[in-house]
Amino acid sequence: MGGPRPKGRFSVLCPRCGQALPDGTTRCPSCGEDVRPLSAPTAEDLTWCPACGSVVSRDMASCPYCGLPLFGQANPLDPSSAEPVDPAEQDTRLLPRMQNAIPLPEGDEEDSPGRPRAAKSLIIATIAVGVVALAAVLILAHPWNPHLYDTRAATPADTSMEGFPGTVDRLSGQDTTGEPADQLSGDEATFEVLTAALETQDAISDELNQEMEDLAAAPSALEDTRETWARQAEATSIRVSNLITDLQDADVTSGTYATARDELITMGNYLRNRSDAITNAWDIVMAPGASEEQMQEAIDAARSADAAFSSLYREAREGFALNAPEA
C-alpha cells in the first residue's frame, strides 16, 4: 500500500491508504484523506516539564505525566525563549521522572536530559544474565576437561592373566602311590558325625537338669535372674532342634549306621520334649501379672514331663552302642 516512505523526522502514514506523508501535509495526495490531526507538532509548540523532563505542548496548563503546573516554559529547541518562573509557584515536592512524551529529534538522544534509561538498563541486564548463564554452562560442562565427572575407570584393566587356571601341582590321573591317604570313606565320615552328635546330646541332657533346677527356684529369684534363665532355656531348645536336623541329614546310604542314626534321633526327641516343657513353663512364669499359684502349677507340670522324658533318655542311652567302621 502507498509508495515508499520519505525520510523525515516527523513523517506520518495516511490512515486510509497507508501513503507515507511528509511533515506539514494536511491532505493525502493519493486518496484525499484529511491528515491534519496526524501532523507532528512543530518545535515552536513544545516545551520541557521542569519536574519530570517530559516534552509537552506549550499551551498545556500542567504536565500530563507528573501534574506539575506549567508557567510559560522555554522552548526546548530555542533556549532564548525561556520565560522567568516564580520559584514560589513551583511544586518542588514532586520527584523527577525521566520520561519523554514523544520521540526526540534525531541526533539529540545522547545529550537530552529527558531521555529514558530503561532501554540501556534492559540491555545491560540482558548482557549480565547472558554472562552468568555462560559461566554456569562452562563450570558444569568443563569443555576443557570433558572427563572430569566420568566415574568409569580411567586405567585399563590388566587382562594379561585372563583365563589363567593357576599353578597346577599335579596332573589329572597322576600316580599318587606312596602318599598318605587323608580322605575318609563314607562310613568313616558318618561315624564321626554320629559320635559328635552323641556327645552333644549327653551335654544337653546335663544342661536340662540344671535348667529344671533353675525353673524350680524362679518364684523366689530376682527379675533379672529369671530373664537370664529363661533366655538360656530358649537357647537350649534351639540347639536340640538343630541337632536333630543334622542327624536327619547324616549320610547312611551304605546302611551301616542307619539304625544308630535313628536311635540318636529318638533320643534327641526325648531331649526336645524335656526342653519344650521347660520353655513352656518359663512363658507362664515370665508372663506379666502371673500369680505365684500359676507359676507353681507351670513348674510342677514341667517337672513331671522332665522326669518322664529324662527316664526314657537314660534307658535309650544305656542300650545304645556305636561301633567304629571296619578297616
Split at pLDDT 50, 70, 90, the class of 68 is confident
Span 197-222, average pLDDT: 92
Backbone φ and ψ for 115, nearest 5 degrees, come out as: -70, 130
12 versus 85: which is more confidently predicted?
Answer: 12
Distance of CA 307 to the CA centre of its chain: 61
pLDDT exceeds cutoff 60 at 97: no
Q: Are 230 and 284 in contact (CB under 8 A)?
A: no
Strand segments, DSSP code E, in the chain are 12-13, 20-21, 46-48, 55-57
What's the whole-number mean pLDDT along residues 201-209?
A: 93
Instruction: Tell me the sheet residues that pair with 34.
Output: 27
Neighbouring C-alpha atoms within 13 Å toward the C-beta of 105: 10
Residues 37 and 16 sit within 8 Å (Cβ to Cβ) = no
Tell whether the model's pLDDT for residue 174 goes beyond 70.
no
Helices (runs of H) and strands (runs of E) counted in the chain: 5, 4
Q: What is the DSSP letter of 118?
A: H
- Please give the pLDDT value at position 10: 44
Mean pLDDT, rounded, for 56-64: 76
All domains of the chain in start order, with CATH: 41-103 (no CATH), 186-318 (1.20.120)
CB 310 within 8 A of CB 205: yes
Residue 12, strand partner residues: 21
Closest by alpha carbon to 208, among 260, 181, 243?
A: 243
Alpha-carbon gap, residue 279 to 273, rounded angstroms: 10
Cα gap 325→207, rounded to integer Å: 31
**What number is the average pLDDT over the span 289-314?**
92
| Neighbouring C-beta atoms of residue 313, cutoff 10 Å | 23
* pTM of the full structure: 0.45
Q: Is 84 helix (H, G, I), strand (E, B) or coil?
A: coil
CB atoms within 10 A of CB 134: 10
In a 3-state reduction of DSSP, which class is residue 20?
A: strand
Report the mean per-residue pLDDT for the chain.
77
Tell me what pLDDT residue 2 has.
44
Of all residues in the chain, what percent carry a pLDDT higher than 70?
67
pLDDT of res. 18:
77
Task: Provide, rounded to the nearest whole percent, the portion of the chain with pLDDT above 90.
Answer: 35
Q: How far is CA 89 from CA 56, 71, 94, in A?
A: 19, 9, 13
Angle in degrees, CA 39, 44, 45, rounded to 5: 60
- Minimum mean pLDDT range among 18-27, 118-127, 161-170: 161-170
Exposure on the CB side of residue 276, measured as CA atoms within 13 A = 9
Q: Which residues contact 214 (CB under 8 A, 6 or more apart)?
A: 229, 232, 233
Cell digits for 223?
527379675
pLDDT band for position 9 (50/70/90)?
very low
Lowest mean pLDDT among 83-92, 283-292, 307-316: 83-92
Is-contact 269 240, C-beta < 8 A?
no
Question: Given pLDDT bands bounded at 50, 70 and 90, which one contains residue 28?
Answer: confident
